[in-house]
Structure 1
Amino acid sequence: MVKKIYIIGLGLIGGSIALSIKQNDPTIDILGFDINHDQAAMAKKIGAIDDVSQTLFPNLENIDVIFISTPVEQTLKIISQLNEVRLKKGVIVTDVGSTKGKIVEYAEKHLNHSIVFVGGHPMAGSHKSGILAAKSHLFENAFYILTASKLATSEHVHTIIQVLKGTKANFIEMTPSEHDQITGVISHFPHIVAASLVFQAEKYEEQFPLVKRLAAGGFRDITRIASSSPAMWRDILLHNKQPLLQLFEEWISEMNRVKQFVADEEAEELFTYFNHAKSYRDGLPEKQKGAIPAFYDLFVDVPDYPGVISEVTGYLAMEEISLTNIRIIETREEIYGVLRLGFQTEQDRENAIQCIGKYSNYETFII
């Protein structure tokens, strides 16, 4: 039975894991460490952890499970150092990294036989960071991937699932290779595409200065993931090198196919291409959290006149519905509604739709 846990890294992910564990079982004692001492102190203040460790490797001989919630490169360094630390026999070590192949391989190579490693990847996040952004329900309904090392048994995996029961996540077991192939397609490569589109827009801005202003609408939305941490994505791409190299080849081939449709003016082929993409995209789960964190945006079709923002936000305030973002949209190609409202949860957005419909005749849209 797990009684003591050590969490290294108390940001959004580590903090949310700690909060969910404490909420589900307050008797579990959680020790936490963060390189930012203020962050660690705040984690204790909000009840995410019971005690703060002043060093990375305190006395860990009574710890049952260790969570490494750090960037990928730091995770590798910590794994290599753990081999020199006195730990409880049979301690389970897990991580939260977005790549799994290299991490699990590294753990199997560097950790001794008294340490069991189970790779983990909670596929949820937020546009906010730090312990104050942590939520006990951050992973609710999200997929939480577990990739066991060679020494890990089904019992060890079950232990991690039980510890993380309070996250209310959907746990899936797969091999490190399967994980990296899948996340390469649905998460890692899309970040590359988004960044490349931004580079293309920046290049054209030299010739057409209006590019930046006109890109404030749909272009900004479809490329929002390009605003993610450069250091994090540098490491992810280097760690998932082989699957991504294969995806580059497949993407180039696909773009050449579409390019040829355009060059040959193949109207029917182009229609079929976009129609198939639309059908598949429309069939994707709407309420299931995926690899790329969702923004719960609501578009409101309102006339742009003085006071309209305070009018709509006033309705939300009456129903005590919190906003995370609000913006008047200038470029509205394929976006219905001049007002864009951002919410923290899907439930808040649903409540907002009901609220606005209750107090006004404004139409609302979800894209």
Structure 2
Amino acid sequence: MKAAILGVGLIGGSLALCLKERTSCHVSGYDLSQKTLDWAVAAGVIDDGSRNLEEAVEDADFIFLAVPVGTIPELLSRLERQSLSPGCIISDVGSTKGKLVRWSEPFRKRGVTYIGGHPMAGSHRSGVEAAHSLLFENAYYILTPSPETPLSEVQKLSGLLQEATRAKLVIMDPFHHDRLVGAISHLPHVIASGLVNQVGRYNEENEWFHRLAAGGFRDLTRIAASHPVMWRDILMSNRGELLKLMDDWLSEMEKVRDAIKRGDAEKIEDFFRRAKFLRERLPERRKGMLLPSFECYVDVPDQPGMIGRVAMLLGEEGINLSNIGIMENREDTAGVLRLVFQKEEDLKRAIRFLNEAGYRVFSFD
């Protein structure tokens, strides 16, 4: 079989590695950057690469569009004009699906099947250099076929992806998918960015807003540092669902505002009690739309070399520490180190090892 990966970045490159390592697929890559293609071939991410779309998809049994969501319609339009193999299956990895449903019928008339796809996994790094074959393992991988899509074609694609990615395959209506990801990913990005912008305006008049905006504020707004162009395109592609969700959010905030204005302590307490109840019942950390933050906090005495000592202890145990910072450090008082890890396994090992070494370690899910 031949699989063509259109867009050889983090997601496309990782999918290519999965297919190469675990299936019999010959993997061809298409990208606008020759440098990216050369690197991907040299690193064994793809078997061959081309900047010519027709050449990349020739005789392909599967075509995966791993490009930014804003460019997927244009690429689908170009594929519609290509000579594709009968029985070919086209899929994508974009985070919105509703606007892409219309492509199912034109392709179906040509003996080609289009099935939307969305692997709910990512990385704090980007580019093909960060690609690896374990990126999707145990993550949810959503497929959004149209009602007219033959079950045999859905099974063919899901079987290949199951074998290659080791992800948890889920079949979902495309419009239901867009509402779901709008609520758990798109809306949170808007809220986090809005909060950062609001505090930023306050800081223009009083710099203490940013000086004291550490700890919880940074954690709460971490996702506001995401790529602006990417999120512009995502919101534009899902604006119908997002506008409904934002109306619901504004209504919820209006209720809280009214309770505060009236001094209704019971309503305010109920708001936080319900949130706490629901938050504690969320599933354990797993791969999903929002990148997880694997972090813990360590009490350390105010002594020279303590930060280096903790980092050295973790390094000696082979535990990869991706970031470290001082949460609180006043003279003659204990400080608090914030340790950040890329993998949950590293976090668990660090907590266990530091506890055994006599440190007080705290972690919050």
With the shorter chain as reference, the TM-score category is: over 0.9
Q: Distance in 2 between matches of 1:319 and 1:78?
A: 47
1:184 corresponds in structure 2 to 182
Q: Structure 1 residues 198, 106: closer, same or farther in 2, change over 3 A? A: farther
Q: Distance in 1 between matches of 2:307 and 2:329?
A: 18
Using the size of structure 1 for normalisation, the TM-score is 0.93
Question: What is the deviation of 1:56?
Answer: 2.5
1:309 corresponds in structure 2 to 307
Q: Structure 1 residues 153, 243: closer, same or farther in 2, change over 3 A? A: same
Q: Which moved more, 1:247-256 or 1:298-307?
A: 298-307
- 2:131 matches 1:134: yes
Q: Deviations over 1:139-186 (max 9, x none)?
A: 122111100135522221222222222322111111111001111111
1:354 corresponds in structure 2 to 352
Q: Structure 1 residues 338, 275: closer, same or farther in 2, change over 3 A? A: same
Q: Which moved more, 1:209-218 or 1:176-185?
A: 209-218
Q: Structure 1 residues 211, 349: closer, same or farther in 2, change over 3 A? A: same
* Aligned-residue identity in percent: 43
Question: What is the deviation of 1:305?
Answer: 3.1
Q: Secondary structure at the match of 1:321?
A: coil
- Provide structure 2 residue ranges, at least 5 long, that are not aligned to the other structure: none
- 2:136 matches 1:145: no
Q: Which moved more, 1:162-171 or 1:89-98?
A: 162-171
Q: Distance in 2 between matches of 1:57 and 1:304?
A: 63
On the 8 A contact 1:218/1:331 being kept in 2, the answer is no
Question: What is the deviation of 1:337?
Answer: 7.2
1:90 corresponds in structure 2 to 87
Q: Secondary structure at the match of 1:329?
A: strand
On the 8 A contact 2:4/2:56 being kept in 1, the answer is no
Q: Distance in 2 between matches of 1:85 and 1:9?
A: 17
Question: What is the deviation of 1:61?
Answer: 3.5
Q: Structure 1 residues 245, 109: closer, same or farther in 2, change over 3 A? A: farther
Q: Distance in 1 between matches of 2:85 and 2:107?
A: 17
Q: Distance in 2 between matches of 1:108 and 1:196?
A: 39
Q: Structure 1 residues 48, 172: closer, same or farther in 2, change over 3 A? A: same
2:78 corresponds in structure 1 to 81
On the 8 A contact 2:32/2:51 being kept in 1, the answer is no
Question: What is the deviation of 1:296?
Answer: 1.4
On the 8 A contact 2:295/2:340 being kept in 1, the answer is yes
1:162 corresponds in structure 2 to 159
Using the size of structure 2 for normalisation, the TM-score is 0.94
1:12 corresponds in structure 2 to 10
On the 8 A contact 1:82/1:111 being kept in 2, the answer is no
- The residue type equivalent to 1:156 in the other structure is E
Q: Secondary structure at the match of 1:5?
A: strand
Alignment of 1:224-239 (within 5 A): 224-239=222-237
Q: Deviations over 1:44-94 (max 9, x none)?
A: 222221111232221634210000000112111110011111110010000
Q: Secondary structure at the match of 1:338?
A: strand
Q: Distance in 1 between matches of 2:39 and 2:294?
A: 27
Q: Deviations over 1:235-291 (max 9, x none)?
A: 111111111111121111111100111011111111111011011011101232221
On the 8 A contact 1:83/1:112 being kept in 2, the answer is no
- The residue type equivalent to 1:12 in the other structure is L
1:292 corresponds in structure 2 to 290
Q: Secondary structure at the match of 1:67?
A: strand
- 2:242 matches 1:244: yes
Q: Secondary structure at the match of 2:53?
A: coil
On the 8 A contact 1:304/1:338 being kept in 2, the answer is no
Q: Distance in 2 between matches of 1:57 and 1:112?
A: 20
On the 8 A contact 2:285/2:292 being kept in 1, the answer is no
Q: Distance in 1 between matches of 2:69 and 2:105?
A: 16
Q: Distance in 1 between matches of 2:364 and 2:13?
A: 30
2:46 corresponds in structure 1 to 49
Q: Distance in 2 between matches of 1:95 and 1:155?
A: 19
1:125 corresponds in structure 2 to 122
